């Protein structure tokens, strides 16, 4: 389990709150990863993500009871709100005043619930719910645009039952070794990109959905709802879960976002310099498109991974 630092809990909101959470803009520092001092020969890891992921304040409860849904919030088509099985009561009992939510996807006995979040609040909601997961049993994941999840998520989730059993039986190292052979030798050479850590996330830069799944570990979510964002690389839900589980054990990696073709991870304990090339090789085997989308060499990828707490994967 990660060592995320808890912040004080918020008193639950009244029962008649509207279905919109309108948290105020946080006071963010003006500095960013681009403004950090030039690194020395020592390993440089940003103290925290650019959006102050570890120290964000709790979102406030909705301030406009009785009003309609905020026009800025995304919409998802559903007739029922907070029907049986909603995580809202569990979260409120843990001190999180969350808005009403929709059942977005169901696979067998497992449901994914969701509510809309603003870009400015998305990481705060993710962190607050993640910090409460041991008490509530609900894990968060940012899902991107609502339209991608229409019709029980058929554009994002492939057919079949959950693949968790297959994931737990899979050897991630063997899988990545085989995928590396398929990908071929990556470009090598002296790093040429600026030496900095990327501490921002792409998915929460726009308003979208935050999903909740009743599960004890976030790495299991791509298997519980078999993700097909990388089926062109023949990776399915079980394969993703196996790789994320391996990185969770070694680097405490947490699933932050899972959209149509993107997975983003928060990595509080990045690899060491000694591990960097090997882990970059794993990332390349997992997502060869990394070296076709602005990262010129494996050494550049390794430099990024030892300095970054935000890992981004997109399959073209």
* Separation of CA 39 from chain center: 27
| Residue boundaries of the structural domains of the chain | 43-314
Question: What does pTM read for this prediction?
Answer: 0.73
Sorting pLDDT into bands at 50, 70 and 90, what band is 40? very low
Residue 311 in this model has a pLDDT that exceeds 60: yes
Using one digit for the tens of pLDDT, what is the confidence trace for 131-167? 999 999 999 999 999 888 877 777 788 766 668 899 9
Provide the token pair at 127: 């962190």
Distance CA 91, CA 96 (A): 5
Helices in 115-258 by DSSP H: which ranges? 122-131, 133-136, 150-153, 164-168, 172-183, 221-224, 237-251
Q: Per residue in 46-84, pLDDT tens? A: 333 333 344 444 444 433 333 333 444 444 444 445 567
Q: CA angle 89-121-21, nearest 5°?
A: 45
Please, are residues 310 and 263 in contact by the beta-carbon 8 Å criterion? Answer: no
- Which residues on adjacent β-strands are paired with residue 265? 255, 311
């Amino acid at each position: 389990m990660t060592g995320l630092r808890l912040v004080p809990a918020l008193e639950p909101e009244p029962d008649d709150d509207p279905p919109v959470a309108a948290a105020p803009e946080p006071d963010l520092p003006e500095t960013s990863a681009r403004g950090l001092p030039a690194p020395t020969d020592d390993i440089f890891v940003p103290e925290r993500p650019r959006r102050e992921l570890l120290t964000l304040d709790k979102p406030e409860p909705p301030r406009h009871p009785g009003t309609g849904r905020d026009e800025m919030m995304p919409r998802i088509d559903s007739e029922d709100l907070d029907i049986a099985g909603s995580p809202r009561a569990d979260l409120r009992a843990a001190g999180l005043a969350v808005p009403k939510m929709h059942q977005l996807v169901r696979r067998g006995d497992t449901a994914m619930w969701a509510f809309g979040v603003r870009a400015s609040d998305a990481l705060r909601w993710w962190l607050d719910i993640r910090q409460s997961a041991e008490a509530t049993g609900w894990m968060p994941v940012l899902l991107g645009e609502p339209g991608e999840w229409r019709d029980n998520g058929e554009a994002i989730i492939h057919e079949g039952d959950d693949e968790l059993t297959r994931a737990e039986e899979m050897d991630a190292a063997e899988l990545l070794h085989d995928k590396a052979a398929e990908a071929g030798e990556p470009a090598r050479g002296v790093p040429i990109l600026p030496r900095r850590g990327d501490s921002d996330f792409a998915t929460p830069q726009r308003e979208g959905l935050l999903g909740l799944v009743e599960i004890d570990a976030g790495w299991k979510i791509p298997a519980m709802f078999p993700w097909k964002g990388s089926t062109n690389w023949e990776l399915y839900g079980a394969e993703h879960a196996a790789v994320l589980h391996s990185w969770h054990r070694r680097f405490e990696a947490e699933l932050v976002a899972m959209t149509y073709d993107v997975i983003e991870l928060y990595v509080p304990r990045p690899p060491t310099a000694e591990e960097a090339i090997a882990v970059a090789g794993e990332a390349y085997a997992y997502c060869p498109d990394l070296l076709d989308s602005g990262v010129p060499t494996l050494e550049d990828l390794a430099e990024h991974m030892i300095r970054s707490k935000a890992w981004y994967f997109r399959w073209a």
